[in-house]
Amino acid sequence: MTEVVATNETILVVGGGISGMTAALEAAETGKQVVLVEKRPYLGGRVSQLYKYFPKLCFPTCGLEINQRRAKMNPNLRVLTMAEVTGLKGEKGNYTATVRISPRYINGNCTACGDCEKAVSSEFDDEYNYGLGKRKGAYLPYRMAHPAQYVLDPRLIGTPEAEQAKAACKYGAVDLDMKEENIDFPCGAVIWATGWQPYDAAKIQPYGYDRFPNVITSVEFERLADPQGPTGGKLVRPSDGKEAKKVAFIQCAGSRDRNHLLHCSRICCMASLKQCTYVADAWGAEADVSVYYIDLRAIDRFEDFYAKVRGIEQVKFIKSKPASIVADKEGNPVVHGVDTEGYNRFADSFDLVVLAIGMEPSVDQASFPVDIVLNREGFIEADEANGGVFAAGCASDALDVNRAVQHATGAALRAIQVVHGAAGVEV
Amino acid sequence: MSDLNTAMVERYRTNFLKEVEANVEEGEWVKMCMQCGVCSGSCPLGKFWAHPPQEIFMMIRAGKREEVLSSDAMWMCTSCYNCIVRCPRELPITHIMHGLATYAKRLGLVPQNQPTARFAQMFWDNLMKKGRVNELKLGLALYFMNGFGEGVKTALKKQKLGMNMMKTGRMNPMEILGGHAVKDLSGFQKVIQKAQDLEDARIAQHGARQGA
C-alpha cells in the first residue's frame, strides 16, 4: 500500500509537466510539504517530447535534468506517478484529496537495466512519440525518464510475456500482483497544472489530417526531428519514408477559429519558425519551406527570431489561410488557397504538410473533481470562488514554456499563502 | 446612373463601408473580415470571377465603390455555403454577396448582360405573375435566353428528360397555357407591394439625408 504523509499544510500539485514540476519544486524548496501527482509514468510532460526550445534552439533535456535533480534531492517532495486525482472535498486550507494509482507492475527495485524489455516481444503504439513509432510491452517511456523505472503495459498482464518479463528480472522488480490503489490524504491548497493537449486535427476537415498520412501536426514533427524519435531525427514523411525536403507549415490550425478554438494559441507561430530551422538545417540548400499564415505573432523579444528565420533563403512566407489540402497520385499533399497579397490562387505540392496545431486545455469542466471557474476557452480563471485551488501554466491559458514556468512560480506563492494561513501564521 | 445612386454617393461620399453597413443585408459584418483568405480559396467558382469575397471586403473598406457595385463577383455566387462553413469568424459571406447584388441592382449598377442577373430577373418576373414559379415556362425561357437557335438546340437535347418528367407527373404540359396560381393571387401581390413600399421608404430615407 502506498503511504502518503500529509497534513492540511501540505500542497497538492496535480500534473507533473514543466509547470507542475516548477510549482512543486518552488514550494518544496521553501520548506513546504508537497505531493506531486502525475498521470504519466514519468515527469516532464509535453516538454519532454520537444526537440528544441525557441528562441535559443537549446534542448529541453537540459532544464528537465536540472528539475529532475532538484526533485531527487528534496525531502519535502513526494511524487506519485501513474496517479490521478479523482476526488477533492473540503475547503481552502482543509481539503481531502482522493488519488487513484494505476499499477506499474514494476517496483522500486528496478535498475532500468532493460532485461524485461528484451524478454518480451509484443509492440504497442508509442505514446511518447504520439503514436508515430512502436514500443515494447515492457518499456522505459523515454531515455531520460524520471523516475528511471520501467513500466509493464497492462495489456501484457495475464499473458505468458508478463511471466517472461518477470523471469528475466534479476532484481525481483516485476510484481504482477500489483493492484490499483485509491488513497485519501489531506492538503491545504491545490495547484492545478494539468496543462494542454493538441487540438484534434481531424476536426479541421478540409485539411484531411485523418485522410492523408503526409499531413501531420507540429507536435508530431517535433518527434520526427528528435534524434531520440521514431525516425532517429531524419525528416522523412510517414507514408513512404521519402525525405521531407519541401515542407509546408499551416498556421492557426484550429486556433482563432470560431468553428474550433476561439483563442490564439500563442506558441504556434514561434513553434513553426523554430521548425523551419529544423528543415533548413537538415537539407541545406535543398530545403524548400513555405509558411502559410494569417499574421505572424512573434511577440516582443521573439521578433529577433522571426527576423532571423525570415533571412533564411529557403523559407517563404505566404499570407493566406489555406482553404483545403488534397493529395495527388504520389501521395504529395497539395495545398489550395488564395493569398492576401495579390489575391493569387495557388495549388502548391509538398512532401509533407505540418499543421501548427492549437492548444486546448487537457481537462474539461466535467472531468474536474471539484467545482471550478473556467473561462469560455476552457482555461481555469483566477477566481475567488476557486478557494484554495490555483491554476499553474497551460491549465490557465495558452502559454509557452517560459511564461508557463513564471506562472507556475506565482501559483506556488499563492498556495504557500494559503497553507501559511492554515498553519495560523500571520500573513 | 439612377437618382438613388447619386443620392447615395452624396450621402456616403467618403465612407463606402458605412454605406454598405447601412444598406446591404448583413453588411455590418464586412468590418469583421480578417483577410485570411479561406473563403476565396474555398469558392468552387472562384477562378471564374474578378474579385473573390476576401478582395470584395477589402475593396469595400478601401472605398472602391464603383468597382465593387459594378463587379460581377456577387452575381457568380452559387450559394454553396462553403465560405460560410469555413470562415473562422463566422461571417455570413454568401448572404453578404447576395445583399451586395441586391443593392447593386437597386442602384442600377449591375453589369450589362450579366447572365445570372438576367436569370434572376426572369425568375422574379415569372414568380410575380402567379405567385408561384411556373417551371415549364421558366425552363423554356432559360433555354431561349441566348437566342432562338440555341434555345431549340437545348430543348431538343433535354427532350428525353422532359418526357420522363411528364411521365412521372413531375411536369404538366398544360402549364404552358398560363399555369395555375396561388389561392389568393391579389393578396399575394398586395403583400409584395407592401414589402416593396417599406423597403423603398427605408432606402429613400437613407439616401435623402445629406452628409454623414
Judge if B84 and B174 occupy the same domain: no
* Nearest-by-CA chain A residue for B51: A343
Residue B110 pLDDT: 93
Judge if B132 and B104 occupy the same domain: no
Residue A329 lies in a domain: yes
Judge if A156 and A290 occupy the same domain: no
Q: How would DSSP label each residue in A25-65?
A: HHHHHTT--EEEE-SSSSS-GGGGG-S--TTT---HHHHHH
pTM for the structure as a whole: 0.91
Residue B14 pLDDT: 73
CA distance A205 to chain B (A): 10
Considering its fold, how many domains does chain B have in total?
Answer: 2
Judge if B101 and B203 occupy the same domain: yes
Judge if B74 and B154 occupy the same domain: no
Judge if A347 and A386 occupy the same domain: no
The helix/strand/coil state of A193 is coil
Residue B147 pLDDT: 86
Q: Which span out of A213-217, B43-47, B132-136 was modeled with the highest average pLDDT? A: A213-217
**Domain membership of residue A125 as a residue range:** 115-168
Judge if B136 and B172 occupy the same domain: yes
* Cross-chain Cβ contact B38/A336 below 8 Å: no
pLDDT score of B209 more than 50: no
For residue B7, which of B112, B107, B104 has the smallest C-alpha distance?
B107
Does B42 reach chain A within 8 Å, measured CB to CB? yes
Mean pLDDT of chain B: 89
Residue B188 lies in a domain: no
Judge if B89 and B22 occupy the same domain: yes
Residue B210 pLDDT: 39
Residue B145 lies in a domain: yes
Judge if B41 and B97 occupy the same domain: yes
**Domain membership of residue B104 as a residue range:** 3-110+194-208
Give kind and range of the element (H or E) at residue A89.
strand A83-91
Residue B189 lies in a domain: no
Q: Which span out of A226-230, B21-25, B175-179 was modeled with the highest average pLDDT? A: A226-230
For B:53-72, CB contacts with A below 8 A are 54-55
CA distance A198 to chain B (A): 18
Q: How would DSSP label each residue in A230-281?
A: TTTT--B-TTT--B--EEEEEEEESTT-TTS-SS--SSHHHHHHHHHHHHHH
Mean pLDDT across the stretch B121-125? 94
Judge if B61 and B84 occupy the same domain: yes
The A-side interface with B (CB below 8 A) comprises 206, 252, 256-260, 294, 319-324, 336-340, 343, 345
All residues of chain A having their beta carbon less than 8 Å from the beta carbon of residue B86 are 206, 259, 323
B33, B34, B36: best to mutate for the A interface, most A CBs within 10 A: B36
**Looking at residue B200, which CATH number applies to its domain?**
1.10.1060
Judge if B57 and B71 occupy the same domain: yes
Judge if A326 and A281 occupy the same domain: yes
**Looking at residue A66, which CATH number applies to its domain?**
3.50.50.60
**Among the partner residues A258, A320, A345, nearest to B90 by beta-carbon distance:** A258
Judge if A300 and A216 occupy the same domain: yes
Judge if B83 and B100 occupy the same domain: yes
The residues of chain A scoring below 50 in pLDDT are: 427
* Nearest-by-CA chain A residue for B89: A258
Judge if A72 and A128 occupy the same domain: no
Cell numbers for A179, please give them. Answer: 493492484
Q: Which residue has the higher pLDDT, B173 or B61?
A: B61
Judge if A291 and A332 occupy the same domain: yes
Residue B207 pLDDT: 57
Q: In this structure, how many other beta carbons lie within 10 angstroms of the beta carbon of residue A312?
A: 16
% of chain B exceeding 90 in pLDDT: 61
Judge if A134 and A230 occupy the same domain: no
Domain end (from A359, A393, A414): A359
Judge if A205 and A273 occupy the same domain: yes
Considering its fold, how many domains does chain A have in total?
Answer: 3
Residue B187 lies in a domain: no
* Nearest-by-CA chain B residue for A204: B86
Residue A421 pLDDT: 83
